[in-house]
Structure 1
Amino acid sequence: MIIDKITLTNFRNYQKQTLALGSGINFIIGANGEGKTNFLEAIYVLAMAKSYKVEDQDLIRFNEEFAKIQASIVNNKLKTELTLIISEIGKRALANDKEVKRLSEYIGHLYIVSFLPEDMNLIKGSPKDRRYYFDVFLGQIDKEYLRDLADYKRLVRQRNELLKKMSDAENNDETLLDVITEQLAKNIDIISKRRSALIADINRQIQEAYHQLTQLEKNFKLEYLPSITESDTSKYLKSRYRQDLVSGATNYGSHRDDYEFILDSMPARLHTSQGEQRAMIIALNIVLSNIVNKTKHSRPVFLLDDVFSELDQKRQNRLLECLLGTNAQTIITTTGFQDIADRYLKNGKIFRVRKGYIKEESFNG
């Protein structure tokens, strides 16, 4: 899968920008604050129909009424024209000029795997950050998971509203609470099974990907930490009624799950440097790309923002070698390319960003 051509209109600091991207590695070069990250964010928004960090209104260029992202996506020789329009009254998503109203039907037209500034919180950040990261990935390749997750969130909201009403009442009939809890338990079991399967799939490849990138003989794996480990989820939730009634909220379930990054048998959040964390997340990206390719028979587009920071020259070039090995379209932002070997620059495309405008330039190495 590749983005053949993309046009931004009134998106962030871009007034009107059209780019024809290469099928290999695309280097987006420029000083900080010029719009490199905004360009990657536009592709993310086109793929996911939402930003990873701000509300929709913040994506619209100052003093404009709408933002629009259009792209030609080529997947196994089939071309799809994607359009996403963001305005004060909402969003419109179109595929080949036909409006797509359900999120679950839209996501999957453009597969992406991303390394963005916020992803550096993945290892040491909150469980919410990690759940969001893996849920976004699973949602791209499994529409049923996306629907199950939406159903789960709806049930949690209903259950929390009921718990608050019951905590204020003198006599509590638990009949309705039992019904919602049993429905919730079924969703928890489905979500937990899918999350666990993903981590097992990742762990079959992550060690080798990390070694190829770093040349270090370290043991690297991920662990899935569900908040409920008992076999009978419904029974466990019912045994916690008193706690839930006191707090007026559902204290256990998929919204309390977590993931742990383990390096040499220790939680990586406790003893790894920024550079090590960066390498771990990049290795994870490569594995996720492999999983998409295996599941959907299509390589996702890599979006890598400031990925070379804190990687020495050898690791930078090993990363580029790994990316070339995937045959995936890659879009990398960086402030310069002085440490990048000439062969990667010659075989890729170079774009320069200045004040919200991107222009292709030739390599004169």
Structure 2
Amino acid sequence: MYLDELHLLNFKNYQEANVRFSPSVNVLVGKNGSGKTNLLDAIYSLSFTKSAFASSDAQCIMIGQPFFMIKGKFNKAGKFYELMSSVQTGTKKTFREEGADYQKLSDHIGKYPVVLIAPDDVELVRESSEARRKFFDSIISQLDKTYLEALMQYNQALKQRNSLLRMFQERGTPDWLALESYDQILIRVGKLIYTRRFSFAEEFLPVFRKYFQYIVGEDEVTDLEYASELKDKSFEEGLIKNRQKDVMLQRTSFGIHRDDYLFTLGNGDLKKLGSQGQQKSFVIALKLAQFEIVQRAKGFKPILLLDDIFDKLDDFRIAKLLELMKSELGQLFITDARPDRTGELLRSIQVPAFVFSVNKGDVTPVNNSVSS
């Protein structure tokens, strides 16, 4: 699968852009703030129906404009498919495939997979459990529609249960029967989510370890463990035991929404003991494992988006990543503020690439390939 064409209107700093890409390596060069990352975000949005960096669609509309539109033409197995995403201020998002609107955006997830590696990904190690849950949920959701539906049902029931708990606090009288109706939903779909997360972690771990060892070039012991309260206690028991506590806290204090993924290096916590280089290598290995797992399930390679990746790695890790680019990966998009560096790196592995100059929202193809 690859992205053949991309058209933007009023998306972030792009008033209008029309670009045709190579099915292999595409390099976006330009100064910081020119719009390179925004271009990757537009591609990401066509895959996941939402931005990777903005918390709301409204934040993606160009300042002073009433709407944005992203249109892309993808090639899958020799057949072209056109996707379109459009948001107008004050109205519902429109998302179309081949001119037909999706009734549920969730139906689109996983059909045109991309993997994004960005500088802030190291926050997967450093931030709270929520970031790690979202990472793994996004992968599983691309592979398993039942899981995605269960996750959406769980989050909706959790939101409603927490609202009910706040109402109890205001009234001073809990309605246990009303609470039970939401508990039953959480229990039913929560068990499914727990089981799928557990099995996926077992599938993911050996693939991740393979890439980590490849990138660091050393026999370092790494581990990734799925941690859940449901390992030691049934969902029913946990919810009932914590009811009074939930009323006092005004939120649900037991369940799979509190799950975490523990990252270890050697015998300790990666966040505390790992160097910056080890943490970066760990995160890149996570993303490359995501790439392989999705490829296995879909039967084709996802699009790989590398945002400013060479600026964050040492020469050894760059060399290992370049080896993968040459042999294992499909369509790539690489951003870099230093075109000379990217050109030299790609020439070193004799990989032809199409170069685009990005300047304040304008995208211009550069005539010659960096490998020539």
Fold shared per TM-score above 0.5:
yes
Contact 2:4 2:73 in 1 (8 A): yes
Identity of aligned residues (%): 28
Q: Distance in 2 between matches of 1:133 and 1:27?
A: 26
Contact 2:310 2:336 in 1 (8 A): yes
In structure 1, what is the equivalent of residue 51 of structure 2? Answer: 51
Contact 2:157 2:186 in 1 (8 A): yes
In structure 1, what is the equivalent of residue 103 of structure 2? Answer: 101
Residue 171 of structure 1 deviates from its aligned partner by 5.0
Query: What residue ranges of structure 2 are gaps of 5+ in the alignment?
Result: none
Name the count of aligned residue pairs. 365
Residue 218 of structure 1 deviates from its aligned partner by 0.9
Question: Is 1:234 equivalent to 2:236 in the alignment?
Answer: yes
Q: Distance in 2 between matches of 1:326 and 1:63?
A: 43
Question: Is 1:265 equivalent to 2:264 in the alignment?
Answer: no
Residue 82 of structure 1 deviates from its aligned partner by 0.5
Residue 320 of structure 1 deviates from its aligned partner by 1.8
Residues 1:169 and 1:91: Cα distance change in structure 2 (over 3 Å): closer
Contact 1:313 1:340 in 2 (8 A): no
Question: Is 1:139 equivalent to 2:145 in the alignment?
Answer: no
Q: How does 1:81-160 map to 2 (within 5 A)?
A: 81-88=82-89, 89-160=91-162
SS in 2 for 1:218: coil
Question: Is 1:2 equivalent to 2:12 in the alignment?
Answer: no
Residue 170 of structure 1 deviates from its aligned partner by 5.3
Contact 2:41 2:53 in 1 (8 A): no
SS in 2 for 1:61: coil
In structure 2, what is the equivalent of residue 356 of structure 1? Answer: 361
**CA distances 1:220-249 after superposition (whole Å, capped 9, x unpaired):** 221111133334211121111111111121
Question: Is 1:164 equivalent to 2:166 in the alignment?
Answer: yes
In structure 1, what is the equivalent of residue 63 of structure 2? Answer: 62
In structure 2, what is the equivalent of residue 324 of structure 1? Answer: 326
Q: Distance in 2 between matches of 1:163 and 1:14?
A: 45
In structure 2, what is the equivalent of residue 75 of structure 1? Answer: 76
Residues 1:90 and 1:175: Cα distance change in structure 2 (over 3 Å): closer
Q: Distance in 1 between matches of 2:288 and 2:321?
A: 10
Residue 344 of structure 1 deviates from its aligned partner by 4.3
Q: Distance in 2 between matches of 1:291 and 1:326?
A: 13
Question: Is 1:309 equivalent to 2:311 in the alignment?
Answer: yes
Query: What residue ranges of structure 1 are gaps of 5+ in the alignment?
Result: none
Q: Distance in 1 between matches of 2:4 and 2:346?
A: 25
The residue type equivalent to 1:250 in the other structure is: T
**CA distances 1:133-154 after superposition (whole Å, capped 9, x unpaired):** 2222222222221111110011
In structure 2, what is the equivalent of residue 215 of structure 1? Answer: 217
Residue 251 of structure 1 deviates from its aligned partner by 0.8
Residues 1:317 and 1:24: Cα distance change in structure 2 (over 3 Å): farther
Contact 1:14 1:356 in 2 (8 A): yes
TM (norm. structure 2) is: 0.92
Residue 345 of structure 1 deviates from its aligned partner by 6.2
Contact 1:219 1:264 in 2 (8 A): yes
Residues 1:101 and 1:116: Cα distance change in structure 2 (over 3 Å): farther
Q: Distance in 2 between matches of 1:47 and 1:307?
A: 21
Residue 102 of structure 1 deviates from its aligned partner by 0.3
RMSD: 1.9
Residue 84 of structure 1 deviates from its aligned partner by 0.5
In structure 1, what is the equivalent of residue 179 of structure 2? Answer: 177
The residue type equivalent to 1:164 in the other structure is: R
**CA distances 1:74-94 after superposition (whole Å, capped 9, x unpaired):** 122232110101111231001
Q: Distance in 1 between matches of 2:334 and 2:273?
A: 28
The residue type equivalent to 1:347 in the other structure is: P
SS in 2 for 1:22: coil
Contact 2:4 2:22 in 1 (8 A): yes
Contact 1:24 1:324 in 2 (8 A): no
**CA distances 1:172-231 after superposition (whole Å, capped 9, x unpaired):** 452332332132112221111111222211112112111222212112221111133334
Residue 46 of structure 1 deviates from its aligned partner by 1.5
The residue type equivalent to 1:135 in the other structure is: D
Residues 1:236 and 1:317: Cα distance change in structure 2 (over 3 Å): same
Contact 1:230 1:236 in 2 (8 A): no
